[in-house]
Amino acid sequence: MKRRRVKITGIGPVTPAGIGRESFWKGILEPVSRVRPYEKLGEELGPFVAAYLSNFEIGKFFEDKRDIPRGVARHTLFAVAAALLALRDAQLGKSELQRLSCAVVIGSSLLDFGGIGASIEAVQRRGFRAAHARAIFTTSSTGIVEVVSQVCGIIGRTRAVQTSCCSGLDAIGQAAELVAAGEVDLALCGGTECPLHQFPLLELRAAGLTPPTAEMPERMARPFDLWRTTGVVSEGAAVLVLEPESSPRAGYSFISGYGFASDPPDAVCGGLVQSARLALAASRLRPESIDCINAWGPGHKLVDAGEADAMVAVFGKGLERIPVFSIKGAIGSPLGAAPAIQVAVSALAHQREMIPPTVNWEYPDPACPLNLSNRARSIQTDAALVNAHGVGGVNTSLVLQRC
């Protein structure tokens, strides 16, 4: 069968910058950081900062809460809300979904540590009979796609993706392959994450992957800035509707290339060179065709510099002309959900002819020779590269083209 071109027809963001397409787009264009002190865990564990959703209520997205099983994890609720928003954006109802061959592919880098921790604490307090049996079903990554399918009325194929912080982008890339090959007519795909629990926040702080202080939280996440130190962990989700080009619904962007690769020894983000080249090859584009880079850029000293080195290797001197941005200064890094949110941004940028600011980028770093701005830019982009990098040396790249 001839491969089909795949387009994004619906977008559902659930982020600290806004929930839903319009609220999110307005928020992500503002030169504002949503990072603030995170005090839910108590003072005894020391200071934390995060970008988080303080007013999220799943009941706002559908009428019958009985559709949600008891004890569902917060990251699953994010995914459900994002999926429903994406379907509404594409103007797709349950009756039409049931006539189509569908897949649900969603990535998350972590299990539900909140649910696991609660079950462990219950046993420690009251003995083995207090173990939460439902934790077997609600804390796994497969529980996310199961509940999303159930709530959306989809009877089809499901796949949970767990490739560290690349999870959301790999989920989109794999879903696009299913649609392109004609295996399904529609895919709900993306990423979701809620790591704001005692574990893994303590471990992330100990590893230097989130700040050890809560002073000036709005200045903490500084992608590619000379004075950056480390990234800031956050929460959120984004789910997309993917369909073939023949779909009657209008598209935001085509997903034209997907690639992934591992870092070589002692070269942080070195695998982005290969993943970007594979994505370009799959899209049949040369590097000079890319006119925007949606960078991973978490604000980590080594990761940012490694990504910049990789982009220099791919684009050479041509990198100077390509606008680059990172959304991590605005919303922190919701781990496996982050790259799915990046894809939502790039798709909206194609339609709105704007790219968001790199919040908190103020002092250029010679180690990161990128075309950055801390203000939103009015730019018409035809082909955008989206990057993701994760613990374990994993890297993923996706090429989006204007519909």
Q: Which of 191, 213, 244 is the last residue of a domain?
A: 244
Separation of CA 59 from chain center: 23
Q: Are residues 240 and 334 in the same domain?
A: no
pLDDT in tens, 227-253: 999 999 999 999 999 999 999 999 999
Q: Are residues 262 and 134 in the same domain?
A: no
Q: What is the tally of structural domains in the chain?
A: 2
Residue with tokens 């990072």: 35
Q: How far is CA 60 from CA 54, 80, 82, 85, 125, in A?
A: 14, 11, 12, 11, 35
Q: Are residues 334 and 365 in the same domain?
A: yes
Q: Are residues 301 and 269 in the same domain?
A: yes
Q: Are residues 40 and 17 in the same domain?
A: yes
pLDDT recorded at residue 135: 87
Identify which of 146, 242, 111 has the alpha carbon closest to the alpha carbon of residue 187: 242
Residue with tokens 């100077």: 320
Count of other CB atoms within 10 angstroms of residue 71: 18
Q: What is the mean pLDDT of the chain?
A: 96
Mean local confidence (pLDDT), 369-385: 97
Q: Are residues 222 and 260 in the same domain?
A: no
Q: Are residues 139 and 211 in the same domain?
A: yes
Q: Are residues 297 and 337 in the same domain?
A: yes
112 within a domain of the structure (yes/no): yes
pLDDT category, 137, cuts 50, 70, 90?
confident
Sign, CA dihedral 132-134-140-141, equals: negative
Q: Are residues 240 and 306 in the same domain?
A: no
**pLDDT greater than 90 at residue 70:** no
- Put simply, whether the predicted model's pTM sits higher than 0.95 gets the answer yes
Q: Are residues 231 and 272 in the same domain?
A: no
**pLDDT greater than 70 at residue 1:** no
Q: Are residues 34 and 97 in the same domain?
A: yes
Q: Which of 244, 274, 306 is the last residue of a domain?
A: 244
pLDDT recorded at residue 118: 87
Q: Are residues 240 and 261 in the same domain?
A: no
- Two structure tokens written together for 91: 């103007």
What's the CATH number where 139 sits? 3.40.47.10
The boundaries of the domain holding residue 364 are 256-402
250 within a domain of the structure (yes/no): no
Instruction: Write phi, then psi, for 240 (nearest 5 degrees).
Output: -120, 155
pLDDT in tens, 111-127: 999 999 988 898 999 99
Task: Please count the CA atoms within 13 angstroms of the CA of 40 that sit on its side-chain side.
Answer: 15
Cα separation, 13 vs 298, whole angstroms? 19
